[in-house]
């Protein structure tokens, strides 16, 4: 539920509030793709580059053996390659 709330807050232009929700969600349900991705996007939007990179790195670790072509994974790879 907190991931969905984070999605809604991020969509409404409230990335700081969204980041808090994603972080609580990750404590309660660790290692969720959507949680790491949302936290990374929220952190990036509020200018917390170190935190964003950390969440994208966790997402990369979680999906290192994934063979799908999800938009989230493409964006993560682009972000980490540029930093």
The answer, yes or no, to whether residue 48 has pLDDT greater than 90, is: yes
Assigned CATH for 2-82:
1.25.40.10
Residue-level pLDDT at 71: 82
Mean pLDDT of the chain: 92
C-alpha 26/C-alpha 12 separation (Å) is 21
Residues across the chain: 83
Residue-level pLDDT at 65: 83
What's the pTM value of the predicted model, to 2 decimals? 0.86
The answer, yes or no, to whether residue 83 has pLDDT greater than 70, is: no
The answer, yes or no, to whether residue 1 has pLDDT greater than 90, is: no
């Amino acid at each position: 539920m907190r991931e969905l709330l984070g999605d809604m807050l991020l969509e409404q232009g409230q990335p700081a509030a969204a980041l808090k929700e994603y972080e609580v969600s990750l404590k309660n349900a660790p290692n969720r793709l959507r949680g790491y991705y949302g936290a990374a996007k929220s952190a990036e939007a509020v200018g917390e580059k170190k935190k964003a990179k950390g969440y994208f790195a966790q997402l990369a670790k979680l999906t290192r053996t994934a063979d799908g072509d999800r938009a989230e994974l493409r964006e993560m790879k682009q972000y980490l390659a540029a930093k």
